[in-house]
Copies of this chain bind each other. A is one copy, B any other.
Amino acid sequence: MAEHTPTPSVVLEHPERIPGYDYGTERAASSPLTLEDLERLKAAVSLTADDEQALREAAEVLADQADDMVTAWRARLGRQPWLGGYSGHPDGSPNPEYSAASKPRFDRWIIDACTRPLDQRWLDYQHEIGLRHTAAKKNQTDHADSLDQIPLRYVLAFTAVIVTSARQYLGARGASPAQVDRMHAAFTRSVMLHVTVWTRAYVDNGRW
């Protein structure tokens, strides 16, 4: 991160102004999951009340780094030419308008993953995010010219980059090693919870 680009204040303070960010609105999908399903998934990732507190603390550390994180993740994706058609035009050539349109939502996801209560609104918007990775809804929000789904394997595999790279950002504001460990474990659990719920959009209920 030679050049530091602070996270834009609209992402942090007025996410409702981000185009296509439909958290808590009627434009978001309705999740097929129940709140009981969610409780079971929280138990499965082992997300505790202390983790939720650690996530609130992580949000303060990550807030002005979220834009940098997404920039770095995308740079890494950009070095894998076979992925180009998912974020670029179908032929893999860059699609700067699409990238610019989706970035504030990606930035905001980092903050949401640390701060949003795990409730019906959360379930609904996570399902919306899942659908936006599949042929059901990809490209619609931004009217983008791009391939019509991101294969599930790349969504899952890239999770490794998100959770491993998060550690350096969590440690970049002077937290003790023990506190970095605590925030990093909580963030990992939260990310896996999110990604797991997104996969519902890819998989028939009988197998999911």
Contacts and interface: CB of A to CB of B under 8 A. Distances in A.
Interface of A: 40-41, 43-47, 76, 79-80, 82-83, 134, 149, 151-154, 156-161, 163-164, 167, 177, 181, 185, 188-189, 191-193, 195-197, 199-200, 202-203, 207-208
Contacts of A41: 153, 157
B207 A152 contact: yes
B188 A163 contact: yes
Contacts of A43: 79-80
A45 B167 CA distance: 15
Contact of A159 (B40, B149, B192, B197): B192
A192 B44 contact: no
Given A40-B82, A164-B188, A200 B153 contact: yes
Given A44-B80, A153-B200, A189 B160 contact: yes
B196 A157 contact: yes
Contacts of A167: 181, 185
A86 to B, nearest CB: 11
A45 B158 contact: yes
Contacts of A203: 152, 202-203, 207
